[in-house]
Amino acid sequence: MGCPEISGWLLVFISLIFWNKGFSQTEKPDPGSDSLISQVSPNYRKLHTIFAAQSAVYVGALYGLSKSWYKNPLHDFHFKDDWNNWYQLDKAGHFYTAFHISHLTSEIYRSTGINRNQRIVYGALSGFLFQTPIEILDGFSSDYGFSVTDLASNLAGAGFFAGQMLLWDELRLLPKFSAHLSPYARHRPELLGRSFTERLLKDYNGQTYWLSFSPGTFTQRGFWPSWLCVSGGYGIGGMVAAETEKSVQLGHSPYKKYLISLDIDLTRLPIRNRLLRQVAMLANTLKVPAPTLEWNSRGEFRFHPLYF
């Protein structure tokens, strides 16, 4: 489904991040400190409270989604191969959402004092499992169907988070998202959205998924600031239907676009205030607008002075 995951689950976990007063992304315990003792002796009461809060919010959100998103009655479970839909951009959305849910939940668990590996495993499991019931609901929907590739994208996003944390104990490769209003929504507003918010969330033509990294995190010489990133992006255009053939039948020419730009890893800026660090971590899920070079499958090269 793509859009509900991005708009719904990130909002769920953003609210939980701010509810969890003990969160701090960058703080690490000093030897002999009370926080180190807390890590040796986990606060299971707090951990169980977080589990309960997540479950309650999740069940409520899932119930609301089942009533609002699935317009037709659910029926027999079935599969659907939607790999070619939207030129795979929706799969990038699943990957992105699973990655950031894994990261945010892992940070929520930090304040409970559980060890590093437990945080990584619990976070990755959350990123994967919290989207799985949506895929199952899709399987009972006449409008969709259970997508194995959606599930695989969810697993890949959660695994991408866990792999980096286990390998480097930090995130060096960051999936990010940006969006702008495209001219295609007016051709099919019932599918691509009518309002400003609907168009940002539903119109894949205006969405771009990025992978940002800083060369400075891979070298110890310090010639490149660790907060300054190079970012590669992927987007589409000319798609007024999920299927390429249908978009062509409706008079449009679908194409893929590949972009390269600069970005900022906001979590690596020297921010002292805890609240601002939390805001920076959440904002770091979005790509910073910057000058961008584009090459698309039409064979065109374009320069965007400021690309959203």
21 and 151 co-located in one domain: yes
- Kindly report the number of other CB atoms within 10 A of residue 75's CB atom: 9
pLDDT for 16? 56
Co-location of 252 and 110 in the same domain = no
Q: Which residues on neighbouring strands pair with residue 255, listed in sequence order?
A: 237
Beta bridge partners of 237: 255
pLDDT digits (tens, 9 = 90+) for 187-208: 999 999 999 988 998 899 999 9
Which of 30-44, 144-158, 212-226 has the least mean pLDDT?
A: 30-44
Measured CA distances, 40 to 45, 113, 266, 290, 300 (Å) = 15, 7, 30, 44, 57
Q: What is the pLDDT of residues 72-96, one digit of tens each?
A: 777 889 999 999 999 999 999 999 9
Cα separation, 112 vs 134, in Å, equals 28
Average pLDDT, the chain: 86
**Reduced 3-state DSSP string for 48-116:** HHHHHHHHHHHHHHHHHHHHHCCCCCCCCCCECCCCCHHHHHHHHHHHHHHHHHHHHHHHHHHCCCCCH
**Same domain for 129 and 29:** yes
**The pLDDT value given to residue 17:** 56
**Token pair in block for residue 123:** 């976070």
> Mean pLDDT over residues 284-290, rounded?
97
**91 with 118, same domain?**
yes
> Are residues 26 and 69 located together in one domain of the fold?
yes
Measured CA to CA, the distance from residue 96 to residue 297 in angstroms comes to 23
Global confidence as pTM: 0.89
Which string of b and e fits 254-264 if b means at least 16 CB within 10 Å?
Answer: bbbbebebebb
Tell me the residue range of the domain where 135 lies: 1-171
Same domain, residue pair 27 and 96:
yes
Claim to verify: residue 298 and residue 216 sit in the same structural domain:
yes
Q: What is the pLDDT of residue 156?
A: 97
pLDDT digits (tens, 9 = 90+) for 171-185: 999 999 999 999 999
Query: Are residue 193 and residue 241 in the same domain, yes or no?
Result: yes
Which residue, 138, 171, 204, sits at the end of a domain? 171
Residues 29 and 104 in one domain: yes
Q: pLDDT tens-digit profile of 21-77?
A: 444 443 444 444 444 444 457 888 888 888 888 788 778 777 776 766 677 777 889
pLDDT value of position 40: 56
Phi, psi of 213, rounded to the nearest 5 degrees: -150, 150
Same domain, 154 and 226: no
Mean pLDDT across the stretch 248-274? 96
What integer pLDDT is reported at residue 130 of this predicted model? Answer: 84
Q: Contact 31/40 with Cβ under 8 angstroms?
A: no
How many structural domains does the chain have?
A: 2
Q: Which of 136, 171, 206 delimits the end of a domain?
A: 171
Joined together, the tokens standing for residue 168 give: 């480097």
In this structure, the answer to whether residues 248 and 293 fall within a common structural domain is yes
Tell me, yes or no, whether 29 and 125 share the same domain. Answer: yes
Banded pLDDT at 144 (limits 50, 70, 90): confident
Model pLDDT, residue 179 = 95
| pLDDT class of 141 with cuts at 50, 70, 90 | confident
34-38, 97-101, 113-117: which has the minimum mean pLDDT? Answer: 34-38
Which of 30-44, 64-78, 146-160, 219-233 is least confident?
Answer: 30-44
Q: How far apart are the first and last CA of the chain?
A: 23
Residue where one domain finishes, among candidates 151, 171, 191: 171
Helix, strand, coil percent values for the chain (each to nearest 5) = 50, 15, 30
**AA letter at 265:** D
